[in-house]
């Protein structure tokens, strides 16, 4: 019986750092989807997200020597992604577009009654609009902590701040999201 477990992301990246570039293919297979999802929600543009994701993996290869034998691979990857996205926005001189929360959960419940489905659809639209009104920093901390499910220590590493600051930023971003949501809801009722 083979009891070997799959090689960890960290070990794969250490191998890449040490010259075994074939291991980058495994990392790409494991992380391209989640990275693309993060970038698509951050930018609101699937084409830009794909371009940025490709740049992230290119930079992983180019700067592989900077990978440290500490921390977590995903935090390092999202840190690179954040920088690549910033470079993209700076070059494009444009702000990110609205995020579509319907992309966050594409699991419809066929048993829902029509009125429940309509209410859920309205809620998703309100949430999408509220996310679109958040500034990029608030949207980013929510994407990392809630959607990518990074720990606050990892979020802090990506955002280059303390763990406490990451928690405060996430709390404030959630409050801002809630405020925008209820403001939009009130506007729609008027």
Place of tokens 């209820």: 182
Question: Which of 85, 26, 34 lies closest to 55, judged by CA?
Answer: 85
pLDDT in tens, 10-69: 999 999 999 999 999 999 999 999 999 999 888 888 899 999 999 999 999 998 998 887
pTM of the model: 0.66
Using alpha carbons, list the distances in angstroms from residue 175 to 46, 64, 130.
27, 38, 11
pLDDT of residue 11: 93
Q: Where are the domains of the chain?
A: 1-97, 112-190
pLDDT in tens, 149-181: 888 998 998 888 999 999 999 999 999 988 988
Residues 136-146, mean pLDDT to the nearest whole number: 88
More confident residue, 111 or 138: 138
Task: Return the pLDDT at 146.
Answer: 83
- Fold for domain 112-190? Arc Repressor Mutant, subunit A (1.10.10)
CA distance to 19, 132, 183, per residue, from 150 (Å): 28, 22, 29
Q: What is the pLDDT of residue 1?
A: 47
Q: Are 163 and 153 in contact (CB under 8 A)?
A: yes
DSSP secondary structure string for all residues of 94-136: -------GGGT-----TTS-HHHHHHHHHHHHHHHHHHHHS-H
* Residues contacting residue 50 through CB under 8 Å, at least 6 positions apart: 36, 39
How many CA atoms lie within 13 Å of 54's alpha carbon, on the beta-carbon side? 5
* Mean pLDDT, all residues of the chain: 81
pLDDT tens per residue across span 84-127? 988 888 887 544 455 555 554 444 444 445 445 445 556 777 87
99: how many CB neighbours lie within 10 A of its CB?
24
Structure tokens at 160: 């280059």
Specify the pLDDT at position 18. 92
Looking at residue 5, the DSSP 8-state letter turns out to be: P
Whole-number CA gyration radius for the chain:
19
> If we measure between CA atoms, which residue out of 97, 122, 109 comes closest to residue 44?
97
What fold characterizes domain 1-97? Rna Polymerase Sigma Factor; Chain: A (1.10.1740)
**pLDDT at position 4, please?**
63
The pLDDT value given to residue 145? 86
Closest-CA residue to 63 (of 102, 24, 9, 119): 24
At 24, list the tokens.
């980058």
């Amino acid at each position: 019986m083979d009891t070997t477990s799959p090689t960890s992301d960290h070990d794969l990246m250490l191998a890449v750092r040490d010259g075994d570039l074939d291991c980058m293919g495994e990392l790409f297979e494991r992380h391209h989807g989640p990275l693309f999802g993060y970038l698509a929600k951050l930018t609101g543009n699937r084409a830009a997200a794909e371009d940025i994701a490709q740049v992230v993996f290119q930079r992983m290869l180019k700067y592989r020597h900077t990978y440290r034998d500490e921390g977590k691979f995903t935090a390092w990857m999202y840190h690179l992604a954040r920088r690549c996205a910033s470079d993209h926005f700076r070059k494009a001189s444009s702000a990110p577009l609205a995020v579509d929360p319907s992309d966050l959960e594409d699991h419809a419940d066929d048993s829902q009654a029509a009125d429940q489905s309509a209410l859920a659809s309205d809620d998703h639209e309100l949430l999408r609009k509220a996310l679109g009104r958040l500034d990029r920093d608030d949207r980013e901390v929510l994407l990392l902590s809630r959607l990518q499910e990074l720990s606050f220590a990892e979020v802090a590493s990506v955002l280059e701040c303390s763990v406490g600051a990451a928690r405060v930023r996430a709390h404030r971003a959630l409050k801002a999201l809630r405020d925008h949501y209820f403001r939009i809801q009130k506007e729609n009722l008027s």
